[in-house]
Structure 1
Amino acid sequence: MLTNLSRNFIESFILPLMQQDKVTFSLQSRDMQGLLEGLNQHHFDLILTNHNVEVGQQEPLWRSELLSRQPIEIVAPATATSGGAFPHGFGDVPWVLPAKGSEIRSAFNVLCARHQYEPVIKAQTDDMAMLRLLARDSGAYSVLPAVVVRDEIAQGKLKVLQSIPGAFEHFYAVTLARKALPKHIRRLIDAARS
């Protein structure tokens, strides 16, 4: 799995494996290059990522399947109030954001530019687990898929203020193009896609 992938998404994906008596598995976090090398060397059957693997070759090495698409949300402390559609009511609120260059941050930057809004950025990180903690504990607003903070939303610590129009985080399963998948992995991918 990619190091910055939502742990809540990963848990939802692998939970069916936990319920199968004869299946054991190993989870490893690496950067994209390390994951693709491990897949190519047959150390992994599958990698989970939020980046589509570009093929660009006559005979592709990888098969990338879209598992899920989650809307990118503006998330705030449960006590926050919003004056309506972005940027009204957001004023000078502090923000904790994904790092520059991420798909989520790019979507937020486009939204800010469209509305000529300058966010007060208190922190930024490329780690979703850290972003989740900062969103939960800092009192700042954040931008991420609600799946990342679903427990905090359920507990009433955070709430979704609104979605960023047309912005989504995509979750992919990447496998070797020429390798047959074990049946339990194929079922896992099919279940996640439905």
Structure 2
Amino acid sequence: MKNSGLNFRHLHFFWTVAKEGGVTRAAERLGLAVQTISMQLASLEQSIGKQLLEPQGRRLVPTEAGKLALSYCDQIFALGDQLQDALEEAETGKMRLSVGISDSLPKLIAYRLLQATQSMDTQVRLVCMEDEFENLLADLALGKLDVVLTDRTVRAGGSLKVFSHLLGESDMKLFGIPRLARKYKRNFPASLDKAPLLLPTRNNALRGRIDAWLVERGVRPEIVGEFEDNAMLNTFGRNGLGLFFAPSALAQDIEDQFGAVLVGDAPELREHFYAISNARKITHPAIEAILNAVHSGLFA
């Protein structure tokens, strides 16, 4: 077995300094003397024969070699955290599922999907992180997440070795608070001409389909808001800023939680939901429970 000569304690000091941008802040975070950190950084650089950090203004930033080392450190210490969690869970009989939730995915859909994990024989501890799609994919590739729930598939030919699994799809409906619904429900969808409309931003997978749907029906609504975060879009919708689309699978939840009612059906518009994983075949028991719930008619 090859002896790398790496001291992982020194490596952790380098990782912390790179994250904090300086030795002083890293020393404060670690509860150690500045001199201790500096000496062990020097020892690490000497052992590998490369400079890992260089000054840039008042900060220390990684060199090219440091950036490479930092990417490996991210994986090493993420796996270390996972190992510690796994050992703790083995003692308690619990299971951990780290989930990335795309900010464009309806939160009620995410809840429906994850709810399936709570009826398993083994207790599942959910750790949910919300972020932009690309950031979640990077965390998935680094092993920080077990799965990403999203409304889009991974582009073919990408550099990350991750795989898309279609969970389901739902046709769309248009909703609004009762005052707006009464005004625009009659003669739908022609009534949408100049109607106030809330839409996802153009980088959202659904936005292009909505735009095409509106063009095909010859209507030009007034777009009063565009949102990356689906929860923010719904918040503005429930407060009457405009009409908004949502999956028909959530129609009752939209009415109960948001006080919004149906304006009209758009069965030609469909939203898709995906699980993104590191493997072609999903083996995590909690993710398998989600797939089983979908196959049992979760979006029916």
Is the pair's TM-score, using the shorter chain for normalization, greater than 0.5? yes
CA contact (8 A) 1:108 1:164 kept: no
CA contact (8 A) 2:177 2:259 kept: yes
Answering whether residue 186 of structure 2 is matched by residue 83 of structure 1, we say: yes
Answering whether residue 207 of structure 2 is matched by residue 105 of structure 1, we say: yes
CA contact (8 A) 1:45 1:181 kept: no
CA shift in 2, pair 1:49/1:126, >3 Å: same
Deviating more after overlay: 26-35 vs 173-182: 173-182
CA shift in 2, pair 1:61/1:193, >3 Å: farther
Q: Which runs of 5+ in 1 are unaligned?
A: none
Deviating more after overlay: 41-50 vs 103-112: 103-112
Deviating more after overlay: 14-23 vs 107-116: 14-23
State the secondary structure of the residue aligned to 2:262.
strand
Counterpart of 1:140 (choices 231, 239, 242) is 242
CA shift in 2, pair 1:155/1:24, >3 Å: closer
CA contact (8 A) 1:8 1:148 kept: yes
CA contact (8 A) 2:192 2:220 kept: no
CA shift digits 1:62-119 (9 cap, x unpaired) = 22111121212221222423223411x3343222222123233222211222233221
Answering whether residue 107 of structure 2 is matched by residue 4 of structure 1, we say: no
State the secondary structure of the residue aligned to 1:29.
strand
Counterpart amino acid of residue 236 in structure 2: L
1:3, CA displacement in angstroms?
Answer: 1.8
Q: Greater CA radius of gyration, 1 or 2?
A: 2
CA contact (8 A) 1:99 1:124 kept: yes
- Report the number of matched residues: 192
Q: What aligned pairs does 1:26-175 form with structure 2 within 5 A after superposition?
A: 26-56=127-157, 61-79=161-179, 80-81=181-182, 82-87=185-190, 89-147=191-249, 150-154=252-256, 157-175=259-277
TM-score by length of 2: 0.57
CA contact (8 A) 2:149 2:273 kept: yes
Separation in 2, partners of 1:176, 1:134: 35
CA shift digits 1:2-61 (9 cap, x unpaired) = 12211101111111323445321211112222212221121111111111113337xx82
Separation in 1, partners of 2:261, 2:290: 30
1:187, CA displacement in angstroms?
Answer: 2.2
CA shift in 2, pair 1:120/1:46, >3 Å: same
Answering whether residue 278 of structure 2 is matched by residue 176 of structure 1, we say: yes
TM-score by length of 1: 0.84
Counterpart amino acid of residue 121 in structure 1: I
Separation in 2, partners of 1:40, 1:23: 22
CA shift in 2, pair 1:149/1:127, >3 Å: farther
Q: Percent identity?
A: 21
State the secondary structure of the residue aligned to 1:173.
strand
Separation in 1, partners of 2:280, 2:197: 44
